[in-house]
Amino acid sequence: MINFRYHLISLIAVFAALAVGVVLGAGPLQMRLNTALESSKDSDGGATASQLAAAKAMASTEAKGLEQIESQFLPGTLTDVAVATVALPGADESDVQRVRAALEKAGAKLVGAVALTDQWDSTSMSTYRQTLATPLESHTNADIPADTTADGVVGYAIAQVLTTTGSETDLVRDIITDDSTPILEISEDPKGGAQALVLVGARSVQTAQADSHAKDTSARALDAWVGTAKAIAAVAPRSVLVGDASQDSSMVAQLRALDTPISTVDSPASTLAALNAALAVAQAGDSPLALGVGVGAANALPSLK
């Protein structure tokens, strides 16, 4: 008679095979498909309609495989862990919702949904952030390192508003949500109850820059990403940043190259990213994870336990 252990090993083998398909397909395929569809609007050349349809069908099939992995490995991994999602400038709402769905499937308690504005990382607003840093630092609860940049102080302020309560936090909230030039916009207030934050960025450098130009701001500031990532990792170590790492100049690729101490997930438009985001929160440890198929990724998936 075939025993339970045999069945378990066979099941793991099936999902491992699906994971191999993920590495070669779902993440990068979905990203390439999005790029192809966008570029086809401006060109008569490139892939034919039938080729795009075939690629879309393959991506859909592999996404279903990932959903099976989600159903098998996510439930119970984040039971009652309070998580807030943070949409970064240029983030696609469907990507944020996909991540939230994966977190819910893992059992997380979604306590908030907020967004960072262009004031957070636009280079043209760097002087504004430097001006804010002094009053923010005087009202933060965290023990901020002496070498923390102005952008890092802003990051600590963001983390404080989402993870703590109190009169000082109320003052910090008022500063960074000011109606005239807000850094943080709150859709669903976590009321300081988040234990982990999942930040979701734009699908590509081009998407982020297009969004920036549309709002008459300039390029994105790497210092803002690094400073905020360090601050959030210090305040809420289980936090994860999901974003583009398709090329060396992509923000997540640069964070990885700088050994920024926060877990990162690439290919935000993919089902793989949503799965990895939830698993990264669940498996957070002393060393940050770098998951996905982009530049600097250490593994396509974390260990499936």
Whether the pLDDT of residue 212 is over 70: the answer is no
Please tell me the predicted confidence (pLDDT) of residue 31.
55
Task: Classify strands 109-116 and 184-188 as parallel, antiparallel or unpaired.
Answer: antiparallel
Say if 222 falls within a structural domain. yes
Most confidently predicted of 22-26, 40-44, 220-224: 220-224
Report whether 52 contacts 33 (CB < 8 A): yes
Q: What distance in Å separates the CA atoms of residue 20 and residue 26, rounded to the nearest whole number? A: 10
Determine, yes or no, domain membership for 13: no
Question: Could you write out the three-class secondary structure of the chain?
Answer: CCCHHHHHHHHHHHHHHHHHHHHHHHHHHHHHHHHHHHHHCCCCCCCCHHHHHHHHHHHHHHHHHHHHHHHHHCCCCCCCCEEEEEECCCCCHHHHHHHHHHHHHCCCEEEEEEEECHHHHEHHHHHHHHHHHHHHHHHCCCCCCCCCCHHHHHHHHHHHHHHCCCHHHHHHHHHHCCCCCCCEEEEECCCCCCCEEEEECCCCHHHHHHHHHHCCCCCECHHHHHHHHHHHHHHCCCCEEECCCCCCCCHHHHHHHCCCCCEEECCCCCHHHHHHHHHHHHCCCCCCCEECCCCCCCECCCCCC
Nearest to 81 by CA among 5, 162, 193: 193
Q: Is 160 left (phi over 0), alpha (psi -120 to 50) or beta?
A: alpha
What pLDDT is stored for residue 303 in this prediction? 87
Distance separating the N- and C-terminal Cα atoms of the chain: 26
293 contacts 23 by C-beta, under 8 angstroms: yes
pLDDT confidence tier of residue 213, bands split at 50, 70 and 90 = very low
| pLDDT reported for residue 70 | 87
Is residue 265 within 8 A of residue 240, CB to CB? The reply is yes
Residue 208 confidence (pLDDT) = 58
Whether residue 38 has pLDDT greater than 70: no
Q: Which domain holds residue 251?
A: 77-291
> For a pLDDT cut of 70, what percent of the chain falls above it?
79
Place of tokens 């400038």: 89
pLDDT of residue 65: 76
Instruction: Give the residue with greater pLDDT, 62 vs 301.
Output: 301
Distance from C-alpha of 86 to C-alpha of 300, rounded to nearest angstrom? 23
| Per-residue pLDDT at 272 | 95
Amino acid 27: pLDDT: 52
**Of 129-133, 140-144, 213-217, 298-302, minimum mean pLDDT range:** 213-217
Alpha carbon 274 to chain centroid, angstroms: 9
Is 18 inside any structural domain? no
- Per-residue pLDDT of 81-127, as tens digits, reads 999 999 999 999 999 999 999 999 999 999 999 999 999 999 999 99
CA–CA dist 263, 229 (Å, integer) = 9
Residue 2 lies in a domain: no
d(CA 126, CA 132): 10
What predicted TM-score, i.e. pTM, was given to this entire model?
A: 0.82
Whole-number pLDDT of residue 62:
72
Question: What total of structural domains would you count in the chain?
Answer: 1
Structural domain contains residue 140:
yes
| 239-287 confidence digits (pLDDT tens) | 999 999 999 999 999 999 999 999 999 999 999 999 999 999 999 888 9
Report the pLDDT value the prediction gives residue 6, as an integer from 0 to 100. Answer: 35
* Cα–Cα nearest to 71, from 105, 27, 22, 99: 105
Average pLDDT over residues 192-209: 87
Whether residue 59 lies inside any domain: the answer is no
Rg of the chain in Å (alpha carbons): 20
Residue 150 lies in a domain: yes
Looking at the predicted structure, is the pLDDT value of residue 300 above 80? Answer: yes
Question: Is 159 a member of any domain?
Answer: yes
CA 3 – CA 137 distance, rounded (Å):
61
Tokens 């302020």 sit on residue = 157
What percent of the chain is predicted at pLDDT more than 90?
Answer: 69
Residue owning tokens 């999942």: 198
The token duo for 279 is 């698993």
CA-closest candidate to residue 116, choices 31, 232, 38, 237: 232
